[in-house]
Amino acid sequence: MSDLIEVRGLRKSFGEHEVLAGVDFAAEAGTVSVLLGPSGSGKTTVLRSMNVLETPDAGLVRIGDASLDFGSPPADKAAYRRAVKALRARSGMVFQSHHLFPHKTVLGNLLEGPVQVQGRDPEEATAAARELLAQVGLAGREDSYPSQLSGGQQQRVGIARALALRPEVLLLDEPTSALDPELIGEVLAVIRDLAAERWTLVIVTHEVRFARDVADQVLFLDGGVVAERGGAEVLTEPREERTRRFLSRVLDAG
C-alpha cells in the first residue's frame, strides 16, 4: 500500500532556535502513528506544520494528493494559497483543550465548519453531525452548550468537530493532557474506536499504555529529528538510551 502521509526533511526555526532539523516519516492509510518526545522537542510544531498552522522553513508535507514543498513553494501567491488550502483541508486538528465556541450549541459547533466554511448543505451536514455525536457517545447532547459539559465531553465534541470537516487524517495534540484523570479514559476510548474504524491518526500522547495498544508506528522526537522509530515495541523495548530515559520519566510520572 502506498503512504497516505509523507513528511520529508521538515525544518523549522524560531529565531536562532532550531526546533525541527529534518523530520521524516510516512504513514499508510488506516494506521495510527504515535509521536512522543520531551517537552519542547517540536511535537506540536510537527502537527501544526502538517496542518499549515505553522509554516516550515523547508521540507515536504504530503497528505493524499495534496502536497507542499516548503523549501520551494509555488512562486505565484495565488497558487501557494491554493496549495495551503488543499493541504489544510486534508487534516483535522484536535488540540489539548478543545477551543469550542462557547456561545454555540454542540450541534452549532459541529456545523460551523462544514456549513459556513465548506458550504455544505445544512441538512446533510446536520445528519452527519448527529451521527458523529453518536459515535463519540454524545447523542442527545446536540443542544447543550460547552459550559454544560464535562471536560471529557467537551474534548469528545472537539474530536467530532474535527471529523465533521471530513479530513483524511486526524492530528491529535495531547488530547487528554488537560483533563482530570477520571475523564481521560472516555476520551481515549473514543480514539480507540476511531483507530478500530481505521481512521488515519497521528497522535501526540504521553499515555504510554494507550499508545502501546493503538500504535502501528511510534516516532520518538528528540534533538529536532526522529531519534527512534518502529512499531509499538519502541515503547517496551527502546533501542536508544534517550528513548529509554524519556519513557522511564513518563512512566514514573504516571
Q: Which long-range contacts (CB under 8 A, 24 or more apart) does 232-241 make?
A: 235/208, 235/211, 236/212
What minimum distance in Å lies between the beta carbon of 45 and ligand ADP? 3
To the nearest whole angstrom, how small is the minimum distance from the Cβ of residue 103 to ligand ADP? 28
14 binds, among Mg ion, ligand ADP, none (CB under 5 to 8 A by kind): ligand ADP
> Given the complex with Mg ion, which of 46 and 52 has the nearer CB atom?
46
Residue 40 CB, nearest approach to Mg ion (Å): 8
Pick between residue 67 and residue 96 the one whose CB is nearest to Mg ion: 96
Across the beta sheet with 66-69, the strand order is 17-28, 3-14, 58-63, 66-69
Task: Please tell me the distance from the alpha carbon of residue 52 to that of residue 33, in angstroms, as a whole number.
Answer: 19
Residue closer to Mg ion by CB (options 166, 242) is 242
CB closer to ligand ADP, 21 vs 86: 21
- Give residues in contact with ligand ADP (CB under 6 A): 14, 19, 37, 39-45
Helix runs in 90-180, H state only: 106-111, 122-135, 151-164
Minimal distance in Å, beta carbon 17 to ligand ADP? 6
Whole-angstrom distance, CA of residue 214 vs CA of residue 191 = 9
Given ligand ADP, Mg ion, none, residue 39, with its beta carbon under 5 to 8 Å by kind, binds ligand ADP
For 198: left if phi > 0, alpha if psi spans -120 to 50, otherwise beta; the answer is left
Q: Are 93 and 47 in contact (CB under 8 A)?
A: yes
Picked from ligand ADP, Mg ion, none, the partner binding residue 40 (CB below 5 to 8 A depending on kind) is: ligand ADP
| Degrees, nearest 5: CA angle 51-91-121 | 125
Which of Mg ion, ligand ADP, none is residue 41 near (CB under 5 to 8 Å by kind)? ligand ADP
Centre a 10 Å sphere on the Cβ of residue 138 and count the other Cβ atoms it contains: 22
Among positions 12-71, residues that touch Mg ion (CB under 5 A) are 43-44
Binding site for Mg ion (CB under 5 A): 43-44
